[in-house]
Structure 1
Amino acid sequence: MKKLVAAITLLSLARLVLPVPCVAAAGDPTPLVRTATVFPEILDGPQRYSVLRGDFHIHTLHSDGKLTPAERVREAWAYGYDVIAITDHRNFEAYAEALPVAEEFGLILIRGMETGLHEMEHLVTLDFADDYVPRDPHSWAESEGGPRVYYRQQWRKLTDARGFVLYAHPHVGFNGAGAWAAETGDPLDPPLRHGLREPIRWGLAEGLLHGIEVRNHTTDRGWGVVKNRGTLWFPMALDWAEQYGLTVFANSDVHPARAEAGNAHEPQSATLLLVRQRSREGAMEALRAGRTVAHFGGMLCGRREMVATVVKGLTRVDFRSGPNGAGRVRIENLGPLALTAELKGLDLKPVVLDAHQTALVELANAPDELSIAWTNAVIRSTESLVTIHRCLR
């Protein structure tokens, strides 16, 4: 193929900067400063969506966290979150304490708790009824007739109470001997081979498992986390989400202050929700419908349909021919997140577009059709989103 001559011009040099917020305690005269990430409205046919930044895995002093519920709300507001769930182990006492503070700050708060199988899978549950009574949380038994509640019985009771259930930091798989194991703080040697045990497969078959974490922000070692694409996450969880239709999450699982937690050198992870209305009901409707994309480590990560919707809503591509077979590609990033566009089949470097940047690519020979691989918009563990654009002649 004839080598193409191209020139790339950046029209805007705006860059998204997310400083660490100053999180003052209540009564402290130091101003509490919020660093917000403002998204344009996302259009999907006739439907219009607002984008909310969410974190649905947070701990307080009501379990093994280091901050009070009120401090967690203030911290989340300062870090630019719009909706959160406090998910302490074994209880949801923090919700009532945090709710008035969340209302004061205009933050959407969802009732939550972390529970799961005895010494194995952890499950985060959201938006269950306030009269739900936990039994043996984090200690569900895998067989009937013992002193602890059978997992199928309690899981179904939880979803009967309208609970939304997601698989947190998928850290269960096969050890070096080929036996099922749960990896915790220290990585196994040889490395854990991830898999889905019978309880998770049962939850999937019964429609009782609704989401999965592809990123657990504070996990910087162990817990089955994988180094991939320059950051730590759960690539196989993204494949499972696509395979089983699960809602995708990037949560913090924060226990100390965010600035002191694992992976503190990276901007905070977030679950991006596409909502019809900015409310608890609107947030839960989006979660139940699977309208989320995970944002972490410089990536947008999610199921193919949702990543395509978000990238389409955040970009504008204009591909036109010029004199003598030449052409021009104009790529606009309309949003607050960096995107990387690789023009397939052309002898060009990838185009890196920071927030609100526009690139012009001049082509000596314009093809009839242009494929753009958005290399940091990830739809499977080994696949990025590709969009097709016809040349306007």
Structure 2
Amino acid sequence: MKKLLSFLFLLGLTFNLSAQIRTDLRLPELNGYKVLKCDFHIHTVFSDGLVWPTVRVDEAYREGLDVIAISDHIEYRPHKDDIKASFNRSYDIAEKYAKGKGVTVIKGSEITRSMPPGHSNALFLSNCDSLDTPNYMDAFRAAKKQKAFIFWNHPGWDAQQPDTTLWWKEHSELFDGGYMHGIEVVNGNDYSPEAHQWCLDKKLTMLGNTDIHAPIQADYDFAKGEHRPMTLVFVRDNSVQGIREALENRRTVVYFQDKIVGEEGYVKELFENSIEILSVDKSEKNVRIVLRNKTDLPFKLKKTAHDINLVYFREYEIKPHGTHAINIKLNNGVKSGNVNFEVTNLLVKPNIGMQYNYPL
């Protein structure tokens, strides 16, 4: 019996240790900025989530996240008969548990209203309880008084906008009044091209989050290579103030499935810092370019309009940490020109990939 108990203890210890192995997403730095992997929209049992706040910290650590925001609903708490607490309590538990684990926890809440204006997250709050008010504008005013960073959640959610994704007059009032600083371009695995365009037009910060309620592995099959969506934030330092400063200045892109969504400048720099040219061999009639991908991101290239005397394949995929050769045939005495591609999984406009050219 003692041997059996010892075996079960060691087995449990092994499972516990393996559960805490961190998998880091390897990415390049951008022009001196450090890249933080963030999820600013998650739920616990203190609203309609199914896990304790400490579980969210452990999930974030295992999946290589640097920052999470506990954003439990203000208006919707289906477990309130069993869990009676301040709206600050889920953050307090998670923040205390996260100390020393390399995960920063941001205090936030979700203002949960029907459309319009729908749901919004307020981050960097000092007191979540003050948002508990019948009038939605009073909740936004309370968040603004605390200098919160506020973003519109899942604008195309079919439960609230089943046929079209609209920008309502109430959103103009929030935007014009300084109550909207960003929009979720990705929620779970749902990408909103309308939100992408609004962010570009109105200079709003792009965010991508899980909006997770169940245990994370219920929604994402990590064994098959799936990953949670996240917001990549380019910070000068990884303090809470540094994260806020980056969000306020729109230094973000969104990573979901195998795609990056963002403003072209940041997306292009991310791509250029990810790819290393190992060699360029040029002869009278051929050029061979060998590339190496230094990151965990794939890059999918599709040939666009070009000089017809430069002959190369239509499509390429540069796999994570892989090398790839691009062979260009030079016809009719051509000596130079541009190799032109669309990087189809780097979206810089709604459903449009980044244009890229390489001069020979």
TM-score, scaled relative to structure 2: 0.82
CA deviation profile, 1:267-322 (whole Å, cap 9, x unmatched): 21111111211222222222111111111121011122221222122123578572
CA deviation profile, 1:53-91 (whole Å, cap 9, x unmatched): 111100011111111111111122112211100100013
- Please tell me whether the aligned partners of residues 28 and 270 of structure 2 are also in contact (alpha carbons under 8 angstroms): no
Count of equivalent residues: 324
Q: Give the corresponding residue for 1:240.
A: 198
Q: Give the corresponding residue for 2:146.
A: 161
- Please tell me whether the aligned partners of residues 253 and 261 of structure 2 are also in contact (alpha carbons under 8 angstroms): yes
Displacement of 1:36 after TM fit?
Answer: 2.2
Q: Give the corresponding residue for 1:205.
A: 176
Q: Give the corresponding residue for 1:386.
A: 355
Q: Give the corresponding residue for 1:273.
A: 233
Q: Give 1:276-295 correspondences, 5 Å limit.
A: 276-295=236-255
* Structure 1: gaps of 5 or more residues: 1-25, 137-147, 173-182, 218-230
1:252 and 2:210 matched: yes
Write 1 or 2 for the structure with the bigger share of helix: 2
Of residues 144, 149, 170, the one that matches 2:135 is: 149
Partner amino acid, structure 2, of 1:36: T
Answer with 328-337 or 108-117: which moved more: 328-337
Of residues 291, 316, 329, the one that matches 1:351 is: 316
| SS of equivalent to 1:106 | coil
CA deviation profile, 1:173-216 (whole Å, cap 9, x unmatched): xxxxxxxxxx319x84xxx1111011211222233211111211
Q: Give the corresponding residue for 1:184.
A: 159
- Cα distance change, pair 60–215 in 1 and its aligned pair in 2 (3 A): same
Partner amino acid, structure 2, of 1:33: Q
Cα RMSD for the two superposed structures: 2.6
1:56 and 2:43 matched: no
Taking the aligned partners of 1:215 and 1:341, their CA distance within structure 2 comes to 23
Q: Give the corresponding residue for 1:108.
A: 104
1:37 and 2:34 matched: no
- Cα distance change, pair 250–87 in 1 and its aligned pair in 2 (3 A): same
Displacement of 1:28 after TM fit?
Answer: 9.1
| SS of equivalent to 1:282 | helix
Taking the aligned partners of 2:346 and 2:47, their CA distance within structure 1 comes to 35
- Cα distance change, pair 27–256 in 1 and its aligned pair in 2 (3 A): farther
Taking the aligned partners of 2:36 and 2:131, their CA distance within structure 1 comes to 29
Q: Give the corresponding residue for 2:256.
A: 296
Answer with 60-69 or 331-340: which moved more: 331-340
- Cα distance change, pair 29–368 in 1 and its aligned pair in 2 (3 A): closer
- Cα distance change, pair 253–131 in 1 and its aligned pair in 2 (3 A): closer
Q: Give the corresponding residue for 2:113.
A: 117
Of residues 363, 369, 372, the one that matches 2:338 is: 369
Taking the aligned partners of 2:140 and 2:262, their CA distance within structure 1 comes to 26
| SS of equivalent to 1:256 | coil
Taking the aligned partners of 1:61 and 1:277, their CA distance within structure 2 comes to 32
Taking the aligned partners of 1:276 and 1:131, their CA distance within structure 2 comes to 27
Partner amino acid, structure 1, of 2:127: D
Displacement of 1:334 after TM fit?
Answer: 1.6
Taking the aligned partners of 2:266 and 2:178, their CA distance within structure 1 comes to 20
Partner amino acid, structure 2, of 1:304: E
1:135 and 2:119 matched: no
**Higher relative contact order, structure no. (Cα contacts within 8 Å, ≥ 6 residues apart):** 1
Taking the aligned partners of 1:358 and 1:79, their CA distance within structure 2 comes to 26
Q: Give the corresponding residue for 1:79.
A: 63
Partner amino acid, structure 1, of 2:263: R
- Cα distance change, pair 40–214 in 1 and its aligned pair in 2 (3 A): closer
| SS of equivalent to 2:30 | strand
Give aligned-pair identity as a percent.
24
Partner amino acid, structure 1, of 2:321: H
TM-score, scaled relative to structure 1: 0.75
Displacement of 1:263 after TM fit?
Answer: 8.2
Displacement of 1:327 after TM fit?
Answer: 1.6
Displacement of 1:162 after TM fit?
Answer: 1.0
Q: Give 1:210-225 correspondences, 5 Å limit.
A: 210-217=181-188
Partner amino acid, structure 2, of 1:279: S
Taking the aligned partners of 2:35 and 2:30, their CA distance within structure 1 comes to 11
- Please tell me whether the aligned partners of residues 88 and 129 of structure 2 are also in contact (alpha carbons under 8 angstroms): no
* Structure 2: gaps of 5 or more residues: 1-11, 75-86
Partner amino acid, structure 2, of 1:30: N
Displacement of 1:150 after TM fit?
Answer: 5.3
Displacement of 1:130 after TM fit?
Answer: 3.4
CA deviation profile, 1:107-164 (whole Å, cap 9, x unmatched): 111111100434541001101233771132xxxxxxxxxxx3252x442331231100
